[in-house]
Amino acid sequence: MERKFSEKRILQQAKKVIDIEVGNIQNVRNHLGNEFVKAIRMLNSCKGKVIVTGIGKSGIIGRKISATFASTGTPSTFLHPGDAVHGDLGMVSADDVVVAISNSGETDEIIRIVPVLKKIGVPIISITSGPESSLGMQSTVVLSTGPIREADPFSLIPSSSTTTALVLGDAIAIVLLSIKGFQKEDYAFYHPGGNLGRRLMLRVKDVMQTGNKIPVVDYDSPMEKVISEINKKNLGFTLIVDQENRIAGIITDGDIRRLLARKKNIFDLKAYECMTPDPLSIGEEKLAVQALAIMEEKEITCLVIRDKNNRAKGIVHLHDVLGKRNFSQEV
């Protein structure tokens, strides 16, 4: 029979569920220790792939964890325990690492394949609330969540247990990518279908700005004109060119701030007195992801594309690469 809930009671019930799950996550955080460190070191030194297994709701979480590993530079695949006993265990080698998810640690389908996994010689990392369970006792490393209180009134429906497993999986994946030095350009490489990935796999020529969008002033221009050009083009810099229109240098917002900090009267100076000579450049056929890598390494926001005569063919700004330019700001 349907029960009538007031708006207040509906919201109270929802907040209670969230509070219970948050409490379980906090409990997992408090349980992190040496075993987590062992798991990270084991996964980081894995010469094969990370095989994640679980069944039911834990299997759904396992698929997500495996996908996160794979998309952040850790080769991984999901193995369904039911398929494993019908031949798919053939994908497992001693060079792999298995991550097994079972809240109770007594899931029949997983316990059934553990002896074979041990015979293969593959290390097992278990995510479970039962470190003394059948799975926990046979695991190389146990990531214990501690006692789990499910969020339903009967503490029966997988909710907190799957949430905590997911959070632990995310923690593992993100710590691993940090250790491996995984960068945005790597993420783009593994995600060519995503917005950022598609953009970063474009060529520089596809994202660079050309023509009158390039901020440029003459070599002997007064600094008043330099500042006016920087403001007009709204890119935070301007190129400086000689009488033959060849690139001589660059003046950025940062250069102007540093001059002011040195108490220079910049309006008494010419562009050539303030510029940084020979600005960094990149070829137009290079990938946008390569431009991003250079800008991040050198801690700059723009690169120049030169023609064979050292004239500015284009410029590429960090925001052009990332697709964040707000062209409505341009005057």
Q: Which CATH architecture has domain 7-182?
A: 3-Layer(aba) Sandwich (3.40)
Three-state secondary structure along 107-139?
Answer: CHHHHHHHHHHHHHCCCEEEEECCCCCHHHHCC
Which regions of the chain are under pLDDT 70? Answer: 1-2, 183-201, 324-331
pLDDT value for 71: 81
Kindly give the residue spans of alpha helices, DSSP state H, lying in the chain.
7-31, 34-44, 57-71, 81-84, 108-120, 134-137, 160-179, 184-190, 195-200, 204-207, 223-233, 253-261, 271-274, 288-298, 318-322
- Taking CA atoms, 136 is separated from 41, 81, 253, 278, 320, in Å, by 19, 17, 59, 62, 51
Homologous superfamily of 204-329: CBS-domain (3.10.580.10)
Write down the pLDDT at residue 331: 31
Task: Check residue 329 and give its pLDDT.
Answer: 38
Report residue 239 as tokens: 């190129």
The answer to whether the CB of 259 falls within 8 A of the CB of 307 is no
- Token pair 């100076």 is found at 269
State how far the Cα of 173 lies from the Cα of 194, in Å rounded to an integer: 19
Q: Would you say 176 and 68 are in contact if contact means Cβ atoms under 8 Å apart? A: no
Q: What's the token pair of residue 321?
A: 């690469």
Q: What are the backbone angles phi and psi of residue 46, rounded to the nearest 5°?
A: -60, 125
Q: Look at residue 191 in the predicted model and tell me its pLDDT.
A: 57
Q: Of 267, 271, 264, which is closest to residue 220 (Cα–Cα)?
A: 271
DSSP state letter for 287? B
- Other C-beta atoms closer than 10 Å to the C-beta of 135 total 23
In the chain, CATH 3.40.50.10490 covers 7-182
- Strand-by-strand arrangement of the 97-101 sheet: 76-79, 50-53, 97-101, 124-128, 141-144
Q: Are strands 141-144 and 97-101 parallel, antiparallel or unpaired?
A: unpaired
**What per-residue confidence (pLDDT) applies to 330?**
38
What pLDDT is attached to residue 184? 64
Bridge partners of 216, per DSSP, are 239
Residues of the chain with CATH 3.10.580.10: 204-329
